[in-house]
Amino acid sequence: MLLHHLERITNLVQLSFALLVGKQTRLDHEIRSATWSRYDATAAPVFRGARWVATLGHVDIASGALRVLAAPRMQMNIPRVAPDGRSVAFIAGLMSDFGSVGGDVFTVPLAGGEPHNVTPRFAGSFNGLAWQGKHLIASALVGSEHAVLTIDPVKRSTRTLWSGAVGAAGSRQGRFVFSADGAVAASVHEDFARAPRIVAGRLPQLAAITRDNDAFAPQVRASSVEWTNDGFRMQGWLLAPLAIEAGKKYPMVVQVHGGPASAASPRFVSNGEQANPLLRDLARKGYYVFLPNPRGSFGQGVAFSSANKRDFGGGDWRDILAGIDAAAKTAPVDTDRLGLMGHSYGGFMTMWGITHSQRFKAAVAGAGIANWISYYGQNGIDQWMIPFFGASAYDDPAVYRAASPIESIKAARTPTLLYVGERDVETPAVQSMEFWHGLRAMGTPTALVIYEGEGHAIRKPEHQRDQRARTVGWFERYLK
């Protein structure tokens, strides 16, 4: 039983605290994130409950008593107690995946009360947080760039200290690690052309302090693409082969990210088996790859990342189509040879795309969702849908049915490869089977691969190589 508690308690600052909370509070909910109060070493604020409907609580270490500080109707992450022990700061917004953090910064008194947004209308998504005296220091995705900012919670203002078009990773508690006084930062940075390196320095100056990966050569060329649609501004990345022949047009594959609360951001594409080898293989075969960030993505503010509520496959799909047109204006793309692919939410969007458009000549859907009604009763994480759909599939089935690709299966004409893990509890294999069955009934070319023993992510190297080869082969067959 104690081991069971330990496995279900994550992100705690040390094992003794995990043991104490797991044993003494006797909660029926998971504790998802926690931090110590420096002001009062006998207590700590924690998020408890399901990842998507958590409350912010205060645990007394001596007694194990839990006191709820706030229960806002939003997802929360990264609690941070102020140095004076009077308030707690945290990031809150619409989030779909544990570990994928984005939203505004809120504060609430440690005595309890109503949370206050201290970054209203911020045009980005915060993903890391720490106190710096009476101010906060935070990291955020702002458009195409990661940034480090200071926040004045009283004036509700921000000031950018550093920004760059990189992928950033610091810890499970944020994209940067800050010194106790917030003056020094460290992170792991990478982009599409440069391999990961550790950067550090006294803000606003950050410089690489490792050179181990400098010899790795770029495998693609990348450019940022910006466009507008339905009054929203959005951004994506266009990856190109290293060698482009003048006067020649190239096929393009659109890769939709998962989540949906996530974002495509710079990640190194390597010559080996680990860092985005599928993108490398497609570029070598002469494909452009477009990575759009439609509404529902991080990077443009809470209003933007929440704009897909009760609208999966609506505005976000229109954004992707508009993004394709914008990308094609910047590069020699043959819009008569478009492919579509994605995994998880990206797999759903691939299924949705081929049932709502005839623009694509080939598609690859990984771990997708064909029928939101049946999916609700099949998966192991059904609570994630409540904030997005506004109700369960039993209380409002119409909104789930309207977003289900299987409802429009008769419109599917695009040859589609489907793959999924045998033991995927997040997007169960039966969803891919249902869509495959529908495609076959329509006479649409299709194939289904179920990888033995795999979960939501395909992890075994032999299966990764097989999935990659099948994907490239499918596009070679139908786009060349």
Residues of the chain above pLDDT 90, percent: 74
Q: What is the pLDDT of residues 108-128, one digit of tens each?
A: 998 888 999 999 999 999 999
Query: At 260, which helix (H) or strand (E)?
Result: none
Confidence class for position 250, pLDDT limits 50, 70, 90: very high
- pLDDT > 60? residue 214: yes
Do 319 and 290 meet the contact criterion of CB atoms below 8 Å apart?
no
Do 340 and 357 meet the contact criterion of CB atoms below 8 Å apart?
no
- What span, in angstroms and rounded, lies between the C-alpha atoms of 264 and 276? 12
pLDDT at residue 47, as a whole number: 53
Structure tokens at 38: 């420096």
Most confident residue range from 80-94, 356-370, 375-389: 356-370
Long-range contacts, stretch 466-473, CB < 8 angstroms, 24+ apart: 467/366, 467/419, 468/277, 468/278, 468/281, 470/364, 470/417, 470/419, 471/278, 471/341, 471/364, 471/417, 472/278, 472/281, 472/282, 472/285
Total-model pTM: 0.90
- pLDDT > 80? residue 244: yes
pLDDT at residue 34, as a whole number: 64
pLDDT at residue 29, as a whole number: 53
pLDDT at residue 189, as a whole number: 97
pLDDT at residue 356, as a whole number: 98
- pLDDT > 80? residue 13: no
Tell me what the mean pLDDT of segment 196-200 comes to. Answer: 97
The whole-angstrom distance between residue 129's C-alpha and the CA centroid of its chain comes to 18
- What span, in angstroms and rounded, lies between the C-alpha atoms of 293 and 52? 22
Mean pLDDT of the residues in the chain: 89
Q: Measuring CA to CA, which residue among 266, 320, 268, 265 is closest to residue 292?
A: 320
Tell me what the mean pLDDT of segment 11-34 comes to. Answer: 39
- pLDDT > 60? residue 2: no
Distances, alpha carbon 177 to alpha carbons 82, 169, 206, 433, in Å: 17, 9, 12, 43
Confidence class for position 53, pLDDT limits 50, 70, 90: low
Q: What is the pLDDT of residues 291-322, one digit of tens each?
A: 999 999 999 999 999 999 999 999 999 999 99
pLDDT at residue 46, as a whole number: 53
Distances, alpha carbon 11 to alpha carbons 30, 46, 169, 173, 399, in Å: 11, 10, 16, 8, 35
- What span, in angstroms and rounded, lies between the C-alpha atoms of 399 and 381? 18
Q: What is the pLDDT of residues 383-405, one digit of tens each?
A: 889 999 999 999 999 999 999 99
Structure tokens at 386: 């409540």
Q: What is the pLDDT of residues 416-441, one digit of tens each?
A: 999 999 999 999 999 999 999 999 99
For residue 477, the SS3 value is helix
pLDDT at residue 16, as a whole number: 26
- pLDDT > 70? residue 216: yes
Strands (E), 265-395: 288-293, 333-343, 360-366
Confidence class for position 456, pLDDT limits 50, 70, 90: very high
Q: Measuring CA to CA, which residue among 461, 467, 465 is closest to residue 448?
A: 467
- What span, in angstroms and rounded, lies between the C-alpha atoms of 319 and 157? 30
Confidence class for position 73, pLDDT limits 50, 70, 90: confident
Do 219 and 271 meet the contact criterion of CB atoms below 8 Å apart?
yes
- pLDDT > 50? residue 19: no
pLDDT at residue 76, as a whole number: 85
For residue 439, the SS3 value is helix
List the domains of the chain with CATH numbers. 2-208 (2.120.10.30), 221-479 (3.40.50.1820)
Beta strand 250-256 pairing with 333-343: parallel
Structure tokens at 442: 């329509």
C-alpha radius of gyration, the chain, whole number:
23
pLDDT at residue 45, as a whole number: 53
- What span, in angstroms and rounded, lies between the C-alpha atoms of 329 and 150? 37
pLDDT at residue 173, as a whole number: 64
Buried b vs exposed e over 68-98: b needs ≥16 C-beta within 10 Å? ebbeeebbbbbbbbbeeeebbbbbbbbbbbb
pLDDT at residue 33, as a whole number: 64
Confidence class for position 12, pLDDT limits 50, 70, 90: very low
- pLDDT > 60? residue 59: yes
Confidence class for position 62, pLDDT limits 50, 70, 90: confident
pLDDT at residue 208, as a whole number: 97
Helices (H) and strands (E) in the chain, counts: 11, 25
Q: Measuring CA to CA, which residue among 434, 345, 435 is closest to residue 388?
A: 345
Do 351 and 408 meet the contact criterion of CB atoms below 8 Å apart?
no
- pLDDT > 50? residue 24: no
- pLDDT > 60? residue 373: yes
- What span, in angstroms and rounded, lies between the C-alpha atoms of 345 and 313? 10
Q: What is the pLDDT of residues 145-188, one digit of tens each?
A: 999 999 999 999 999 999 999 999 987 668 999 988 888 999 99
